[in-house]
A and B are shown apart, each in its own frame.
Chain A
Amino acid sequence: MATLADDTVVEMRRSGDSRFVAFALLAPALLVVGLFFVVPLVLSAVGAFRSTEGAFTLAHFAKALDLYTRDLLFTIEIVVLSTLLIAAVAIAIAGYLTLGEHPRAVAILRWLYRWPLFIPFVVAGQIMRTFLAKNGMLNHVLIGSGLIAPISAQSMLDWRGIVVAFVWKQAPFVTLLLAGAMAALERQHIEAARNLGAPRWRVLVDIVLPQVRGTLLVGLVLSFVAMLSVLSVPLMINPNSPTMITVDVAYRINTFADYAVANALCLLSLLLAAFGAAFYLRHAVRKVEDA
């Protein structure tokens, strides 16, 4: 009995130690984010709850919801749709890179897909605006190749343009993460399944994807929150109603110097991001329990 109790004490002390070590290791990183982002964030967030007299109020949230509920919904739709499309594109490309049997096609694809990674959001917005417009390059090519009649050319500078710009810019990011994870998988299972005659898409869905779900999730969550907080793409492509929340934030500030409602909108947007991040959280916590 006594030894057991001693063991428990030692165990407890050790876990206390390891906790201390863990937090000591975390401290510098937490300090950077805490000092240089979380503190300023809190400073600005309190503004969302403060009336001009300094009293607590929810009026700014009421106004934000009154004027911008439609934009909040629009933002959710855009970001969710973009995330799903990014997932589809990334899985398809990374899957082919892993399972493709035509070496030259794999090589070309590997070289090809990364380029948008190096293009900043604001430039992605700019080039999509000139590419997807009614008289933009896409329609010129479609008309020139006889695929559509000139009369049916239409502008995609609305929600579609934003989604295209997001997918174009973010899919390579997720693909890069995913392809890396897939490349590191043990090939035996894949080979075995292929030898048994399973088609490649089944191998991808049944064997490969379950093993890289974590990576996919990380990439998608990072893309999800990035798209939520990007201003330049919706501003360049479709700043009119309905538009994304970031445009409204900029508009409240630039037109009315209204930081209160802008901050309220930011917090609402943060709430959306939290929903997205909850997916990751569940995965991350489960993983530790597995370990």
Chain B
Amino acid sequence: MTLAPRILPHLGRALVLALLAFAIFGPLLNLVLWAFAEKWYFPSKLPLEYGLTFWQRVFAPRGNALASLGTSIWIAVLTVIVSLVVAIPAGYALGRLKLPWRGLILLAFLLPQAVPNLPVYVNIAQVFYRIGLAGTITGVVLVHASHGLVLAVWIASAAFASVDASLEEAARNMGASVWTCFRTVTLPLAAPGLMASAIFVFLESVDEFTGTYFVGVPDVTTLPLLMFNASMGGNYQIASITALLLLVPSIAFMLVVERFLKADVLAMVGR
């Protein structure tokens, strides 16, 4: 009796955590099971046979899965770089400088995310064929960047807005040039937010397939294309395997970025 009040909270906490774990890993377990299932049908509740046949199919030398994975990572890294290079000045302008139509400009960056983009991509492809970017990595990176830019710009603008202006002034008063001041004071303070946006842009690029198809195929093929086709066709094993493969660079990128920061990221976003 006397123990109960002390144990109950622990029990409750454990229970809530367990439920959450089930909610998160239950669906993921399905993914893992399908990746190794060779036979699985009614009335069996679990796979009847496990094996690696489908892994062999994905990794068949002519399937190009590894090369596609490499291309996906390369495109994602480039997309992050392009996004940050254009988003840092834009974020600074939006976060620190007085601007007319600020709201509208912020919304303009949201557009690529806000429209069901199927019909738009036909025209994107047309534009890209015309300017010779179709079938190139550059073309795919630009499409991914325009799609993910809202994350980079919004988060960068928030990060710069939250940098304490008095610190910059102090640096300027000590004779630092605008550039030095930005490089040594503002940018490091905004870095956590910027790095966080890098994670999201990376994930966005690694998951993208519609733009890749219209702009890249057949010269540039990425792993998400295969994953999408397999998943929509109900080819669960291949879709699950490719999804698991794509987890690797995503998680690795996140770990690298987090290490870099040594603190919980995103400290200043949106403030």
Chain A residue, CB-CB nearest to B264? A183
B28/A117 in contact, CB under 8 A: no
Give Cα A34 to B127, complex, Å: 12
Q: Is the interface of A mostly helix, strand, loop or mixed?
A: helix
Nearest-neighbour CB distance to chain A for B252, whole angstroms, equals 10
A132-159 CB mask vs B (1 if < 8 Å, else 0) is 0001011011000000000000000000
A44/B122 in contact, CB under 8 A: yes
B120/A37 in contact, CB under 8 A: yes
A26/B105 in contact, CB under 8 A: yes
A36/B243 in contact, CB under 8 A: no
Q: Does A263 contact B (CB under 8 A)?
A: yes
A43/B123 in contact, CB under 8 A: yes
| CB interface residues, B 89-145, toward A, < 8 Å | 89-90, 92-94, 97-100, 102-103, 105-124, 126-127, 142-143, 145
Nearest-neighbour CB distance to chain A for B268, whole angstroms, equals 6
Q: Does B198 contact A (CB under 8 A)?
A: no
Q: Does A253 contact B (CB under 8 A)?
A: yes
Nearest-neighbour CB distance to chain B for A165, whole angstroms, equals 9
A-B contact count (CB 8 A): 286
| CB interface residues, B 62-103, toward A, < 8 Å | 82, 85-87, 89-90, 92-94, 97-100, 102-103
A118: chain B residues at CB < 8 Å are 203, 246-247, 250-251, 254
Q: Does A204 contact B (CB under 8 A)?
A: no
Known A105-B13, A177-B266, A291-B161; contact A246-B271, beta-carbon cutoff 8 A:
no
Give Cα A212 to B158, complex, Å: 12
Nearest-neighbour CB distance to chain B for A86, whole angstroms, equals 14
B118/A253 in contact, CB under 8 A: yes
Give Cα A211 to B20, complex, Å: 27
Known A119-B243, A122-B231; contact A218-B158, beta-carbon cutoff 8 A:
yes
Identify which of A33, A122, A235 gathers the most chain B CB atoms within 10 Å of its CB. Answer: A33
Q: How many residues of B contact A (CB 8 A)?
A: 97
A281/B103 in contact, CB under 8 A: yes
Q: Is the interface of B mostly helix, strand, loop or mixed?
A: helix
User: Which of the residues A216, A218, A266 comes within 8 Å of B116, measured between beta carbons?
Assistant: A266
Known A229-B117, A246-B116; contact A29-B149, beta-carbon cutoff 8 A:
yes
Chain B residue, CB-CB nearest to A48? B119
Known A26-B93, A32-B149, A112-B24; contact A38-B111, beta-carbon cutoff 8 A:
yes
Give Cα A219 to B150, complex, Å: 12
Q: Does A55 contact B (CB under 8 A)?
A: no
Give Cα A246 to B269, complex, Å: 30
Q: Does B216 contact A (CB under 8 A)?
A: no
Give Cα A102 to B82, complex, Å: 41
User: Which of the residues A36, A128, A217, A274 comes within 8 Å of B143, measured between beta carbons?
Assistant: A36
Give Cα A228 to B111, complex, Å: 12
B122: chain A residues at CB < 8 Å are 44, 259
B27/A270 in contact, CB under 8 A: no
Chain B residue, CB-CB nearest to A119? B243
Q: Does A49 contact B (CB under 8 A)?
A: no
Identify which of B87, B92, B118, B120 gathers the most chain A CB atoms within 10 Å of its CB. Answer: B118
Give Cα A236 to B233, complex, Å: 10
Q: Beyond the given A36-B143, A40-B127, A131-B30, could you list 7 further A-B residue pairs with CB under 8 A, ordered by the A residue number?
A: A29-B153, A33-B112, A130-B236, A176-B266, A180-B269, A184-B268, A225-B113
Q: Could you list 19 examples of A-B contacts with CB < 8 Å?
A: A28-B90, A29-B153, A32-B145, A32-B146, A33-B111, A44-B119, A44-B123, A109-B20, A112-B24, A125-B231, A127-B28, A128-B27, A141-B22, A177-B270, A179-B266, A181-B271, A225-B114, A270-B111, A284-B103
- The 9 lowest CB-CB distance pairs between A and B, nearest first, are A180-B266, A215-B270, A184-B267, A29-B90, A40-B123, A273-B114, A120-B207, A25-B89, A214-B270
